[in-house]
């Protein structure tokens, strides 16, 4: 008790000292920074009257000679913004706590240094253009950062839905796939996918990605893959290209990480690493080029009059269906976990070890999706981002709601795990149509997705006897394809003018364009066939050469130690602490 009393007294003295120091500092600061009285504004120093900038670029009044666009603007215009040209020395600097006086005409870059603080109309026009592109750069990069953080969400969902004895292995796959995917996409994948994109309109209009390998069939051009941009060298060493790379590489990583959940708890680490390189360098870029890189699926509209070709705004098929369908192929080759099915084929539930982690991961993914979908405008100045964001939110909530109600009706309990997958299913489904549908359409798409994920998961497990511990095939595969189809149904014709080079807005069947639905269905078939058989062949080759699956005894004990060498949750009875591993002293 005496010790506690002493501590209280000491803390009290310290608090009084800090309070006195703060009061003295406050009074000293006020004495040093008392602002001078504000001058009364005169008419010439206000900006009440708008300045007609067109007069500097078109025709001057009849009483004056024509003014060239690169001539300095009138001195009173620069005075109206900052009071004096930037070249005038400032002898009495003052602070600006409100920010009202920070920034002005002196911050506009001028082509002629002599005109500093007095920009021409052309200088101002250039600055406006640069600011617009800068806003798009910042928007795209920030959204890319959000999508990158979704990797943490995937890791938590997959680890929480699987058993604790394999948690280190599952987390390691989600971490390592990030570096493997980034490096593979940097070396080859980005060039194959976007090497023929040309131009990047919202990022400054650069045209350096301008080589697409194409073939001619029936008098039509079919783009297959890009041939420039590898290693981000040469002309690809460009600010706009690197902005696009960062945004797109994290999308690719989302597709690459989806099979780590479906194939968890029995997948060898070396084959997994090879998979990460295969997807990022070959599988994902090829299909991605056909839809997003100006390839042949995107050209179905201009070549054959099928709407705007295959339209996938943010990746229901390019990202999620690719990952989900590849998971299906991998699960077929890998086989179910030991104990998943009884001898009569009846599935046995294998609960995950931490529902808290899994649902936290769902929330992180839902948050990151606000970068995933709205960021796909690649333009912060595109005001459609509000529609995309709201549609994304509504579909996620609708998917969660319908999945929860369905499980409540079927089992008598709401089942938060399946509700979480319903939320993700709604997000996956709205990813392709998020920019093209109205809020009501988004809700309908999400409601259907929440039911679809449960039905498909049941068919996969009960009908086909496949083991997907986290439901990745149903969430990403089935709902990725549903999202692609929904564009062809619900696109309301209010957005997407000249999408994929086709005049007019994107319009679905319910709003008058059946051709768009046909294009979307072609995209569904191509996505499934190409990704499924491409992945199946890859996994078969790997299984026949180095083997895909861990040994049965390792699987039963947990594959943390055997595959990655550490335990996620060391037990007290194991020699897991350094002091326990140290040699004991010899007895005398």
Average pLDDT in the 306-322 region?
98
For residue 274, the surrounding DSSP H or E stretch is: helix 269-278
pLDDT the model gives residue 65: 43
Determine if the peptide bond prior to 277 is cis (ω within 30°): no
Residue 28, SS3 per DSSP: helix
For residue 213, being part of any structural domain is answered with: yes
Judged against a pLDDT cut of 70, whether residue 168 lies above it is answered with: yes
pLDDT the model gives residue 577: 46
Judged against a pLDDT cut of 80, whether residue 5 lies above it is answered with: no
pLDDT the model gives residue 93: 74
* Residue carrying structure tokens 């709604």: 426
pLDDT band of 51, cuts 50, 70, 90: very low
Average pLDDT in the 530-551 region?
98
pLDDT the model gives residue 113: 87
90-102 pLDDT tens trace: 456 789 999 998 9
For residue 586, being part of any structural domain is answered with: no
Q: Can you give the residue range of the structural domain that contains 209?
A: 129-564
Please state the domain count of the chain: 1
Determine the Cα–Cα distance for residues 553 and 546; give it in Å rounded to an integer: 18
Report CA-CA distances (Å) from 550 to 180, 269, 337, 353, 558. 21, 9, 11, 21, 10
Residue 131, SS3 per DSSP: helix
Interior angle at CA 439, CA 435 and CA 442, nearest 5 = 70
Average pLDDT for the chain? 89
**Of 55-59, 100-104, 188-192, 394-398, where does mean pLDDT reach its minimum?**
55-59
Percent of the chain, pLDDT > 90? Answer: 78
Judged against a pLDDT cut of 60, whether residue 62 lies above it is answered with: no
- CATH number of the domain residue 286 falls in: 1.10.3430.10
Burial label, 425 (beta-carbon count in 10 A; 0-12, 13-18, 19+): buried
Determine the Cα–Cα distance for residues 580 and 470; give it in Å rounded to an integer: 36
For residue 318, being part of any structural domain is answered with: yes
pLDDT the model gives residue 491: 98
Residue 59, SS3 per DSSP: coil
pLDDT the model gives residue 44: 39
Judged against a pLDDT cut of 50, whether residue 579 lies above it is answered with: no
420-443 pLDDT tens trace: 999 999 999 999 999 999 999 999
Q: Where are the alpha helices (DSSP H) in 335-384?
A: 355-372
**Of 271-275, 347-351, 582-586, where does mean pLDDT reach its minimum?**
582-586
pLDDT the model gives residue 14: 79
132-145 pLDDT tens trace: 999 999 999 999 99
For residue 74, being part of any structural domain is answered with: no
Judged against a pLDDT cut of 90, whether residue 233 lies above it is answered with: yes
For residue 240, being part of any structural domain is answered with: yes
Average pLDDT in the 9-22 region?
74
Of 157, 150, 144, nearest to 365 (Cα)?
150
Determine the Cα–Cα distance for residues 269 and 562; give it in Å rounded to an integer: 10
pLDDT the model gives residue 75: 43
Judged against a pLDDT cut of 70, whether residue 236 lies above it is answered with: yes
Determine the Cα–Cα distance for residues 180 and 174; give it in Å rounded to an integer: 10
For residue 45, being part of any structural domain is answered with: no
pLDDT the model gives residue 9: 74
Judged against a pLDDT cut of 80, whether residue 69 lies above it is answered with: no
Top pLDDT among 558 and 30 is at 558
Q: Where are the alpha helices (DSSP H) in 434-494?
A: 439-458, 472, 479-490
pLDDT the model gives residue 116: 86
Structure tokens at 105: 């005409």
For residue 42, being part of any structural domain is answered with: no
For residue 203, being part of any structural domain is answered with: yes
């Amino acid at each position: 008790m005496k010790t506690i009393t002493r501590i209280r007294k000491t803390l009290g003295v310290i608090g009084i000292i800090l309070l006195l120091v703060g009061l003295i500092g406050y009074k000293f600061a006020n004495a040093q920074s008392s602002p001078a009285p504000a001058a009364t504004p005169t008419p010439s120093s206000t900006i009440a009257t708008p300045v007609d900038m067109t007069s500097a670029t078109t025709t001057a009044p009849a009483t004056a000679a024509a003014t060239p666009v690169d001539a300095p603007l009138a001195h009173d215009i620069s005075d109206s913004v900052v009071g004096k040209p930037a070249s005038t020395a400032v002898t009495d600097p003052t602070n600006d706590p409100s920010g009202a006086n920070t920034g002005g005409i002196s911050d506009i870059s001028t082509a002629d240094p002599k005109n500093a603080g007095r920009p021409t109309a052309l200088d101002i026009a250039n600055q406006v253009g640069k600011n617009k592109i800068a806003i798009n750069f910042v928007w795209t990069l920030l959204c890319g950062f959000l999508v990158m953080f979704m990797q943490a969400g995937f890791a938590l969902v997959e680890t929480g839905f699987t058993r604790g004895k394999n948690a280190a292995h599952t987390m390691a796959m989600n971490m390592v796939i990030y570096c493997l995917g980034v490096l593979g996409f940097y070396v080859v994948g980005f060039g194959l996918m976007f090497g023929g994109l040309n131009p990047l309109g919202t990022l400054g209009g650069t045209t350096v990605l301008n080589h697409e390998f194409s073939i001619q069939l029936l008098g039509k051009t079919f783009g297959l893959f890009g041939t420039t941009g590898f290693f981000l060298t040469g002309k690809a060493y460009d600010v706009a290209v690197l902005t696009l790379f960062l945004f797109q590489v994290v999308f690719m990583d989302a597709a690459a990480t989806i099979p780590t959940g479906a194939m968890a708890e029995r997948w060898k680490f070396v084959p997994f690493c090879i998979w990460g390189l295969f997807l990022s360098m070959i599988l994902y870029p090829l299909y991605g080029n056909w839809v997003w890189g100006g390839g042949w699926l995107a050209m179905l509209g201009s070549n054959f009059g099928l709407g705007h070709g295959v339209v996938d705004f943010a990746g229901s098929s390019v990202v999620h269906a690719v990952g989900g369908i590849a998971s299906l192929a991998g699960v077929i080759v890998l086989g179910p976990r030991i104990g998943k099915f009884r001898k009569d084929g009846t599935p046995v539930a294998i609960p995950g070890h931490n529902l808290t982690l899994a649902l936290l991961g769902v929330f992180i993914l839902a948050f990151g999706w606000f970068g995933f979908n709205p960021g796909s405008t690649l333009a912060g100045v595109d005001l459609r981002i509000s529609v995309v964001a709201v549609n994304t939110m509504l579909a996620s909530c609708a998917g969660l709601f319908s999945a929860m109600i369905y499980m409540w009706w079927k089992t008598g309990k709401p089942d938060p795990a399946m509700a979480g997958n319903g939320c993700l299913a709604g997000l996956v489904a709205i990813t392709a149509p998020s920019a093209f549908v109205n809020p009501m359409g988004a809700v309908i798409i999400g409601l259907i997705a929440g039911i679809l994920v449960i039905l498909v998961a049941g068919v996969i497990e009960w009908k086909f006897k496949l083991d997907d511990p986290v439901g990745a095939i149903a969430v990403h595969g089935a709902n990725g394809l549903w999202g692609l189809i929904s564009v062809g149904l619900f696109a309301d014709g209010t957005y997407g003018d000249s999408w994929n080079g086709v005049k007019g807005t994107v319009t679905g069947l319910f709003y008058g364009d059946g051709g768009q639905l046909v294009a979307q269905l072609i995209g569904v078939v191509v996505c499934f066939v190409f990704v499924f058989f491409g992945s199946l062949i890859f996994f078969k080759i790997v299984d026949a050469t180095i083997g895909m699956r861990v040994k049965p005894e390792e699987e039963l004990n947990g594959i943390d130690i055997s595959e990655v060498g550490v335990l996620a949750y060391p037990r007290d009875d194991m020699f897991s602490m350094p002091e326990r591993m140290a040699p004991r002293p010899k007895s005398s």
